[in-house]
Amino acid sequence: MKTSLSIKPVALGALAIASILAVATTLPSFTKNSDLAAITINSIKVTDGIKAPTALVFPAPNKAWVTEQTGAIRLIKNGKLTDVVVLDVKDKLVRVNSGYEERGLLNITLHPKFASNGKFYIFYSRPYKNEQGKPRFNHTDVVAEYKMLPNSDQADPNSERIILTQDKPDGNHNGSGIVFGADGYLYVTFGDGGGQHDQHGTIGNGQNMNTWLGKVLRINVDIEGTYSVPKDNPFVGKPDVKPEIWAYGFRNPYRITLDKTSKQLFIGEVGQDTWEEVDILQKGANYGWRLVEGNHCHNPATGCDFNGLTPPITEYHHSEGVSVIGGYVYNGKQLPSIKGKYIFGDWTGPVWYLQKSGDKWLRGKVTINNFPANAKITGWGEDQSGELYYLTNSETGPGGPGVTTGSLYKIVKNQ
């Protein structure tokens, strides 16, 4: 799937136009790609045969689960895709288009104590249940918990506990990031509601503190019922502010991951038409959308006020890509040369690393050997040893029935 999360099919056209402009005119200083030397790393294909893979987790050293956008969680055991379906929520989903599509089964994360409690969490898009007097929504996004059956590779399909739901005005910009922080709380990302330019209400959803849309939430799921709000969330007790909010001003924070060494949370935040960005999550911070896109005024188009806004740690222009796919800080052992570097990509295929230098993060290009030609990057994963993986799709969506265009690759030591 493409997470343009606003790039729709026209996005590639827009990309081409942006590239032409880059040659024809003087654009802002977006040539930060040359901050650091390019590096080359190796990869091997673990498996293909996956339908529109969206996310990847490792429940055991020799097991991986991949979520398919169309609803199944597939088991890969000892490096082989099996016939085991851990869980299939296709009957709960909206009708997922075979072409470009941002909805569906979008993410999965394991409870920090998964090994003992068998709990995991998924993010999916279900049909909106129209209630009288309420405006019509495109769909409803759901964060739900499931539990494994005892001594089984399958989840109990009847174990669903819905943690929270969010009605969505449009089909795009679902966010869908879910991850446990080092503090044991669940962080959930929601996009701005969709459409484009965050034209929701008078100030846009990103800056409207009375909605979860355009926010990162922080909640405690280790309670009976649904969830509770940690007392030290930054906006608890403030009038007309949702207390679940941990940070705000996002457009489509598609992926959020934990650096297990620094304990920081990294976010790939998909931009509108011009700038993609990566953020490090900070309590109570305003990441600027729709006022700004990356480090640039958006609405208003000029003369915007950057006071109080938290800038991204990196940005890149749409001459280099169209939808950032947030990755991981590498914490593995096989590639000491990339330890501590944040590896991430763009849906259209380019990959970069970020490396901290003083109080800045600098960016360099990554060439990945064996990267499949013309494939989209749809996600990243980290196994229990900290080794890194990426998911690809050769189409812009799930494809038709029986079509499997997705693959899983592992980053490995250079030969």
Q: Which residues of the shown chain bind Ca ion in the complex (CB under 5 A)?
A: 287-288
Q: How far is the CB of 209 from Ca ion (least distance, A)?
A: 16
Nearer to Ca ion, 194 or 288 (CB): 288
Q: How far is the CB of 196 from Ca ion (least distance, A)?
A: 16
CA distances for 308 relative to 31, 286, 304, angstroms:
26, 7, 12
Nearer to Ca ion, 248 or 287 (CB): 287
Q: How far is the CB of 307 from Ca ion (least distance, A)?
A: 14
Q: Is residue 274 within 8 Å of 289, Cβ to Cβ?
A: no
Nearer to Ca ion, 288 or 345 (CB): 288
- Which structure tokens are listed for 222? 């280790």
Nearer to Ca ion, 104 or 253 (CB): 253
Count of CB atoms situated within 10 Å of the CB of 90:
14
Most distant CA pair in the chain, distance: 63
Q: Is residue 344 within 8 Å of 326, Cβ to Cβ?
A: yes
Q: Is residue 148 within 8 Å of 133, Cβ to Cβ?
A: no
Q: How, if at all, do strands 72-77 and 63-68 pair?
A: antiparallel
Q: Give 129's contacts (C-beta < 8 A, 6+ positions apart).
A: 140
Nearer to Ca ion, 71 or 204 (CB): 204
Q: How far is the CB of 287 from Ca ion (least distance, A)?
A: 4
- Which structure tokens are listed for 109? 């994360």
CA distance 182 to 162: 23
Q: How far is the CB of 193 from Ca ion (least distance, A)?
A: 16
CA distance 176 to 252: 9
Nearer to Ca ion, 118 or 288 (CB): 288
- Within its chain, how far is the Cα of 130 from the centroid? 28
Q: How far is the CB of 308 from Ca ion (least distance, A)?
A: 12
Q: Is residue 210 within 8 Å of 287, Cβ to Cβ?
A: no
CA distance 150 to 141: 28
At CA 313, angle to CA 21 and CA 266, rounded to 5?
Answer: 115
Q: How far is the CB of 269 from Ca ion (least distance, A)?
A: 6
Nearer to Ca ion, 76 or 217 (CB): 217
At CA 249, angle to CA 225 and CA 366, rounded to 5?
Answer: 100
Nearer to Ca ion, 254 or 287 (CB): 287
Q: How far is the CB of 271 from Ca ion (least distance, A)?
A: 8
CA distance 288 to 74: 37
